[in-house]
Amino acid sequence: MDPTLRERLQRLGPVRTLDVVPEGAPEVFTLRDEAEGRGLLTVRAALALARRGLSLLEAKRVIERLLDEGEVTVRLPRVESRDVLARELSGAGILALPVGDG
């Protein structure tokens, strides 16, 4: 391995595991950027989505669309509670509105 690559990887530190939601039902949410791009905690938001069944790449793309468009609708495979998800995303600057009765 290239010594400079090895050094860069060591600086990144250990790989974190993602604490996924163990149980829940599929839900559809409309997400709105409350911070209008300023102060939006994108990593926190992407991790919240990934914890609920999206891959990290899918979650990243949802957040990118949210930044571009200001609003996005997403189906999450495993939501334990609408209120818990809404609070978690609110802390990242995102308003999460459930779609349908669920």
Q: Residue 63 and residue 76: Cα distance in Å, rounded? A: 13
24-98, what's its fold?
Ribosomal Protein L30; Chain: A, (3.30.1390)
Tens of pLDDT, residue by residue over 51-89, are 999 999 999 999 999 999 999 999 999 999 999 999 999
HEC sequence for the chain: CCHHHHHHHHHHCCCCCCCCCCCCEEEEEEEEECCCCCCCCHHHHHHHHHCCCCCHHHHHHHHHHHHHHCEEEEEEEEECCHHHHHHHHHCCCEEEEECCCC
Contact 51, 21 (CB under 8 A): yes
Tens of pLDDT, residue by residue over 19-47, are 888 899 999 999 999 877 677 889 999 99
Whether the model clears a pTM of 0.85, i.e. scores above it, the answer is: no
